[in-house]
Structure 1
Amino acid sequence: MPISPNQGSTGGGQTVTITGTNLGGATAVHFGTKLATITANTATSVTVTSPSGAGVVGVTVTTPGGTSNPLSFYYVGAPFKSTLSPATGVTAGGDTVTITGTGLSTATSVAFGANSATPTVVNDGTITVTVPAGAAAGPVGVSVTTAGGTNNGLTYTYVDAPTIATVSPTSGPTSGGTAVTITGTGFTTAQSVTFGGVAAPFSVISDTTITATTPPGAAGAVDVVVTTTGGSATAVGGFTYAAGPGI
């Protein structure tokens, strides 16, 4: 006589179906010592709403013909989340986030605001999930749903990818040292600025402005790349290293 599902929240409320034979006219279904609410009944099945409980309990069906052998039902506590890493990412989604806590082994869904994704269970204390796309930049609540219920309390922040509008000045000596102002959007979380792949010291003035000092480079045009937690923006050939005069 199978029972499905065989686990549910300690708070009860789980829809459970028990299948077998001679189940018609069921008068009671017990989860341990507690009665469940019967919502449907046929000769081969009984559907109930589980009562609250804890641990492992025996489930029995009573009909005019007697009481069945017990089946095991496992009560699962609500999950607890402690950390989420990384806590920021691109609005387009796609980043992999690790969530740690307890009671995560039965996780079936992770919601980032209004959008959900299916996690990968590593163990009872760890799950990973690919972040779905966000509706807009900004923080959203993160909730994990398991057989034990749903737990909220963590926040993930979506960040728009940066854009580059201008680089000024657009040229300087190969020796480096040119003070450059880069304008665009999404610069607040800037992690690096490179000229031709070489990292440059920089300062974030605002979400729309960065100043940087060019490193030494070979003569010619190079790409300027600003990388943030929201991704990278590239000004193709945005700065030109000019060779000094020779006599």
Structure 2
Amino acid sequence: MPISPNQGSTGGGTAVTITGTQLSGTTAVRFGNKLATGVTNVSPTEVTAVSPSGSGSVGVTVTTPGGTSNPVPFYYVGAPFKQTISPTGGSTAGGDTVTINGTGLSSATNVAFGANNAAPTVVSDSQLTVVAPAGAAGPVGVTVTTAGGVNNGLSYTYVADPTVTTLTPASGPTSGGTAVTIAGTSLTTTDSVTFGGTPAPFTVLSDTSVSAVTPPGAAGAVDVVVTNDAGSDTATGAFTYIAGPGI
């Protein structure tokens, strides 16, 4: 007499389907010594019911006018508990692999990033990984669904790829040291600015502005690359190094 699913929340409320023979006229379904609710005799070979609250492993029995069946096991699972999520943000395009650590994760079936769902890969009862779906820029709640229920409380922030529109000034000496204001979009999480491939010290002023100090460089135009949590943008030949006079 199989039961599906064979596990559910300790709080009860799991809809189960029991299949077997001679199930007509079912009068009761018990999980251990507790009566199930919502018992429906679908056919002589199928009964549905809603599990009561419980814990551990219990035997499920069906009672008909002909007697009580042999028990089949049902396992109560506690609600998941999430402790950490890494990384805590990524591209609005999705595709980043996210690791969630906690407890009670072995039966995870879904991870929701806001309104968008993704199928997890269970590593162990204390860890799962999931590929973040696409989402709109900004923070969203992360919800894990398991046989034991759902748990939320973690946050994931979607970040749009940065864009670079203008540099002011757009030129400076090869010795470096020029304070440059970079204008663009999605610059809040900027974690790198390079001039011709050389990292530059920078300060985020706003989501549309970053201040950087040019490193030394060879004379000529160089690419300026701004990178954030989602990706990078290259302003081709956007800054020109000017050699000093020689006598």
Shorter-chain-normalised TM-score: which range?
over 0.9
- Amino acid aligned to 1:7: Q
- Amino acid aligned to 2:69: S
Deviations, residues 76-106 of structure 1 (Å, cap 9, x unaligned):
0101111111112222222121111110000
- Amino acid aligned to 1:173: P
Which residue does the alignment assign to 1:65? 66
- Amino acid aligned to 2:56: G
- Amino acid aligned to 2:132: V
Contact 2:26 2:41 in 1 (8 A): no
Which residue does the alignment assign to 1:167? 167
Report deviation, 1:50. 1.1
Q: Distance in 1 between matches of 2:224 and 2:147?
A: 49
Describe the SS at the equivalent of 1:190: coil
Deviations, residues 47-69 of structure 1 (Å, cap 9, x unaligned):
11111111100011111221111
Which residue does the alignment assign to 1:188? 188
Which residue does the alignment assign to 1:54? 55
Which residue does the alignment assign to 2:102? 101
| TM-score, normalised by the number of residues in structure 2 | 0.94
Report deviation, 1:117. 0.7
- Amino acid aligned to 2:190: A
Describe the SS at the equivalent of 2:156: strand
- Amino acid aligned to 1:148: G
Which residue does the alignment assign to 1:132? 133
Q: Distance in 1 between matches of 2:92 and 2:98?
A: 14
Q: Distance in 2 between matches of 1:215 and 1:119?
A: 44
Contact 1:79 1:149 in 2 (8 A): yes
Q: Map 1:154-233 to 2 at 5 A.
A: 154-233=154-233
Contact 1:9 1:75 in 2 (8 A): yes
| TM-score, normalised by the number of residues in structure 1 | 0.94
Report deviation, 1:206. 2.1
Which residue does the alignment assign to 2:77? 76
Contact 1:25 1:42 in 2 (8 A): no
Q: Distance in 2 between matches of 1:219 and 1:168?
A: 18
RMSD: 1.5
Which residue does the alignment assign to 1:89? 90
Report deviation, 1:244. 4.1
Report deviation, 1:161. 2.0
- Amino acid aligned to 1:197: G
Greater shift, 101-110 or 84-93, is seen at: 84-93
Report deviation, 1:131. 1.1
Contact 1:164 1:183 in 2 (8 A): yes
Q: Distance in 2 between matches of 1:105 and 1:54?
A: 17
Which residue does the alignment assign to 2:124? 123
Q: Distance in 1 between matches of 2:71 and 2:207?
A: 64
Contact 2:90 2:158 in 1 (8 A): yes
Describe the SS at the equivalent of 2:183: strand
Q: Distance in 1 between matches of 2:26 and 2:149?
A: 28
- Amino acid aligned to 2:31: F
Structure 2: gaps spanning 5 or more residues: none
Q: Distance in 2 between matches of 1:47 and 1:40?
A: 7
Q: Quick check: 1:35 aligned with 2:4?
A: no
- Amino acid aligned to 1:31: F
Structure 1: gaps spanning 5 or more residues: none
Q: Distance in 1 between matches of 2:127 and 2:181?
A: 43
- Amino acid aligned to 2:211: T
Q: Distance in 1 between matches of 2:61 and 2:216?
A: 79
Q: Distance in 2 between matches of 1:205 and 1:45?
A: 65
Q: Distance in 2 between matches of 1:235 and 1:4?
A: 57
Q: Distance in 2 between matches of 1:210 and 1:126?
A: 37
- Amino acid aligned to 1:209: S
Deviations, residues 165-224 of structure 1 (Å, cap 9, x unaligned):
101222223332222221112222211100111101112222222121111223332210
